Amino acid sequence: CIPLHPRQKAFRSGTDGAFDNITTLTTIIKEAHKFGTELNIVSVDLAKAFDTVNHSSIDRALRMHGLDSESRELIREMVTGSTTVIKGDGGALSNKIVINQGVRQGDPISPLLFNSVMDELIERLEQSGVGFKIGNTEVVTLAFADDIILASSSHRGMERLLSITHDFVKVRGLQLNIKKCKGIRLVRTPKTKSLVQDTSKTFKVPQAGEHLHVPMVGPGEPIKVLGVTITPDGKPSFNLGTLEGTLERIRKAPLKPAQKLATVRDYLIPALEYQLGVPGVGKRVLEDVDTSIRHSVKRFLHLPHTGMNSMFLTMPVKDGGLGLRPLRTQHIARVAVGTNSMINSADPTSQTIASMPQHQKSLHAALKHFSVPTASKDTLKKGKRQLLRAEIAELTETYQGSCLPSFRKRSVGNSWLSGLNGMRSRDFITGLKLRFGVIETRSQKWRGRTPQNPVVLLCRHCGLSTGQRETAAHISQKCPVTQRLFIQRHNRIVHLVGEHARREGFTVHVEHALKSAGQVYKPDLILIKGNAAHILDVAVPWEKGTDMHEHYERKTTKYSRITEDVKAHFGVDSCTVGAIVVGARSSWCASNRLALKACSTSTRTRVRIAWTTDKVQPAAQLAANQPQGEDGDALPRKIRWRVLSEQEDREKTSAPGNGSNGATPPKQGPHYCPHNTPPSTIYPLCINDGSRRPSGCPANTEPSQMPRHLISDAYEWINKIPSVPIYYLAKPQPRERAWQNQRGKKTLLSLTLV
């Protein structure tokens, strides 16, 4: 291990070097303004530093750090024996290009080698004695690899530091890029303690010639240090207008809404966490940034701007949210962790800066905010989890959040919320509205208000006869108009599991009736293989916040009464009982794996229930019994469902001309057996009795349209939804994510699933 100077902050374990240098710089600027002390700052730019440092300087630096001759010889062979060959468009290869200077790009040892060379410069600068005194220490150098900032309390001292730097880099094959260097000079006005910027007296680099001067920063002009903008008074600056412009470009980009969500969550927010994760950023700025992000995300996801709890956006995906981390919380945590690492640093300057009252105040505020005793990274992480649990518990007490206990820590049921699973955009947006409790029903429209006529809250199809209010739960589970639709939803899962069991060598019996103790039992599936039988029953409950395992136990308790009858009827020695419980809003019961394991099905099996839509004829030509809206208009689309398993995907991909025009057959009573139905057979979903029948449909199925019952009062809304989707029965396994240039536009590809 090569010991480096503590003022070198790049590539050091256990410390946030960028945070350390930015905090130190802003602190000395504020201290200079506070006490009226002259301060001179220069940001030094080295031209192509990593590419031009000579190899003899590397060997010299390693020798000065006490590295043995064998190790130095090994490193010398590594850095001097490199060659590059350029391949042209036609496949022609250039001659070998020998690398005679610089360190190898991408080599893990390259940063250490470069830092060892710069270590001697830092040592010389620190011994100059012309830095800026603060407390019991003196700040001279703020180094982050080749990004170097010099500080001095006098103009002459700064020119001496520049002279030392110029002499050093010249000998080692490096060069100062004077045009990109920036200087700030803060001087005291007569008879006052206030400081002003002096741009009239520039800093000369003596050995570089009389006419080379460091460019000075204009009055009030901010400087950018390690990606963070800092004003001349030592405060971090953030342009909210620039962020809003970026969000608007993302919104207008040729990407799907889910891809825009991934761009904001995975790229924009991490960059903002870094820019805003330094001391001095105001609470109002952080709140404005969070608000801008929320408004933009709601806009391109077509979510309501009011009436929706913002916790759904900020919760982690595994807990049922969209994972847009709030910058306010991230800022408090990052400042606390960074300050704590500075206090525990081996650098006396960092310790002095972090021990100042303003930084200690922020640290104690963070400890109080997260209710933790210390500011270590692990402790603060635990504190953030506790705070999140408290916020989720508070949300659970509300109408929209009452379902959260059914979704929390369900990676399978929440995987689609990441947006990187290939779902159609309208399905993804509709699923979000359904999950977050803002789907446009009559009850949702009047939530928080009391209509003069209570009838407007009733179901538009069955409300007058049943007295039921129009809610998403009623539409999904109880309404007579959609009864056949959610029966079909249930049957799709039965068929899917039965087909997989058949391929694994089981004999599959669907709704086989058995009489026991005077009652008739008809489990969805009885699977026979060898001398063992397995009873499986499917349930698709509406998530009310209860544990999904309760539905699993209810099913297993019911059918455990007929295990002896099953063994006697089928002549087997053993019989197990299980259930498949999939929530109407995509929650996944963890106990399902026990039932799937019994029939040799892994939760990694990719299973998706998707939507397809087809154009239908004008309203005037529709049958009289087709469902219509309150305005008399027939529905513009009909909805079909299809089930895609792994085998079906392969068959549909390999078969020419195969489209997406169908779904698996519905369950047709106890005599239906999936052995007789090929996996690729596709049938439309039917909920109405009609005379027209599309070609290829069995005689006992009819075409259907989505009932107006399922549409919002805004009939022009594009997302016409059929019942409630079941997105994934198993967790998708991501293989890759990449950017691809399509038609000249940069497009974020969704995850490839296996």
pLDDT in tens, 247-270: 999 999 999 999 999 999 999 999
Residue 629 to residue 716: CA distance in whole angstroms: 12
* Residue scoring higher pLDDT (616 or 367): 367
When pLDDT is cut at 50, 70 and 90, the band that residue 207 belongs to is: low
pLDDT tens digits along 655-692 = 444 333 333 333 333 333 333 333 322 222 222 233 33
Residue 240 to residue 244: CA distance in whole angstroms: 6
Residue 574 to residue 588: CA distance in whole angstroms: 28
Residue 488 to residue 684: CA distance in whole angstroms: 10
Residue 243 to residue 290: CA distance in whole angstroms: 11
Whether the per-residue pLDDT at 745 is higher than 70: the answer is: no
When pLDDT is cut at 50, 70 and 90, the band that residue 524 belongs to is: very high
Torsion angle of C-alpha atoms 533, 538, 544, 545, degrees rounded to 10: 40
Whether the per-residue pLDDT at 613 is higher than 80: the answer is: no
Long-range contacts of 188-195 (CB under 8 A, 24+ apart): 188/36, 188/37, 188/38, 192/36, 193/35, 193/36, 194/33, 194/36, 195/32, 195/33, 195/36, 195/37, 195/38, 195/39
Q: What mean pLDDT do residues 64-73 have?
A: 87
Per-residue confidence (pLDDT) for residue 669, from 0 to 100: 38
Torsion angle of C-alpha atoms 55, 56, 59, 61, degrees rounded to 10: -100
Per-residue confidence (pLDDT) for residue 445, from 0 to 100: 82
Q: What mean pLDDT do residues 179-186 have?
A: 92
Take residue 540 and report the two structure tokens written for it. Answer: 């698709």
- Beta strand 532-539 pairing with 574-581: parallel
Take residue 462 and report the two structure tokens written for it. Answer: 């069955």
Q: What mean pLDDT do residues 693-714 have?
A: 32
Q: What mean pLDDT do residues 35-53 have?
A: 90
Residue 724 to residue 609: CA distance in whole angstroms: 11
When pLDDT is cut at 50, 70 and 90, the band that residue 13 belongs to is: confident
- Pair 34, 216: CB distance under 8 Å: no
When pLDDT is cut at 50, 70 and 90, the band that residue 297 belongs to is: very high
SS3 of 685-720: the string is CCCCCCCCCCCCCCCCCCCCCCCHHHCCCCCCCCCC
Q: Which of 123-132, 551-560, 733-742 has the lowest mean pLDDT?
A: 733-742
Per-residue confidence (pLDDT) for residue 437, from 0 to 100: 85
CB count in 10 Å sphere of residue 315? 26
Per-residue confidence (pLDDT) for residue 601, from 0 to 100: 58
Per-residue confidence (pLDDT) for residue 286, from 0 to 100: 95
Q: What mean pLDDT do residues 103-107 have?
A: 80
Phi, psi of 608 (to 5 degrees): -140, 135
Per-residue confidence (pLDDT) for residue 209, from 0 to 100: 55
Per-residue confidence (pLDDT) for residue 543, from 0 to 100: 86
Percent share of the chain, pLDDT over 70: 78
424 sits in the region (left: phi over 0; alpha: psi -120 to 50; else beta) called beta
Percent share of the chain, pLDDT over 90: 38
Whether the per-residue pLDDT at 177 is higher than 60: the answer is: yes
Residue 298, C-beta contacts closer than 8 angstroms, at least 6 positions apart: 304, 305, 308, 313
Whether the per-residue pLDDT at 629 is higher than 70: the answer is: no
Whether the per-residue pLDDT at 503 is higher than 80: the answer is: yes
Computed from CA positions of residues 287, 288, 293, 299, in that sequence, does the dihedral angle turn out positive or negative?
positive
DSSP-assigned letter for residue 190: T
* Residue scoring higher pLDDT (407 or 647): 407
When pLDDT is cut at 50, 70 and 90, the band that residue 637 belongs to is: very low
- Pair 526, 570: CB distance under 8 Å: yes
Per-residue confidence (pLDDT) for residue 30, from 0 to 100: 94
Per-residue confidence (pLDDT) for residue 12, from 0 to 100: 85
* Residue scoring higher pLDDT (628 or 250): 250
Length of the chain in residues, anyone?
A: 754
Q: What mean pLDDT do residues 50-73 have?
A: 88
Q: Report CA 318 to chain centroid distance, whole Å.
A: 11
H-helix or E-strand containing 41? Answer: strand 39-44
Q: How many Cα atoms occupy the beta-carbon half-sphere of 661 within 13 Å?
A: 10
Residue 303 to residue 298: CA distance in whole angstroms: 5
What global pTM score does this model have? Answer: 0.76
pLDDT tens digits along 409-419 = 777 778 888 88
Take residue 374 and report the two structure tokens written for it. Answer: 């210390």
Q: What mean pLDDT do residues 328-339 have?
A: 93
Per-residue confidence (pLDDT) for residue 615, from 0 to 100: 24
Take residue 59 and report the two structure tokens written for it. Answer: 């060997």
Q: Report CA 55 to chain centroid distance, whole Å.
A: 43
The closest of 103, 79, 83, 78 to 94, measured between CA atoms, is 83
Take residue 231 and report the two structure tokens written for it. Answer: 């004003």
Whether the per-residue pLDDT at 173 is higher than 60: the answer is: yes
Give me Rg for the CA atoms of the chain. Answer: 34
Residue 211, C-beta contacts closer than 8 angstroms, at least 6 positions apart: none
How high is the mean pLDDT of the chain?
77
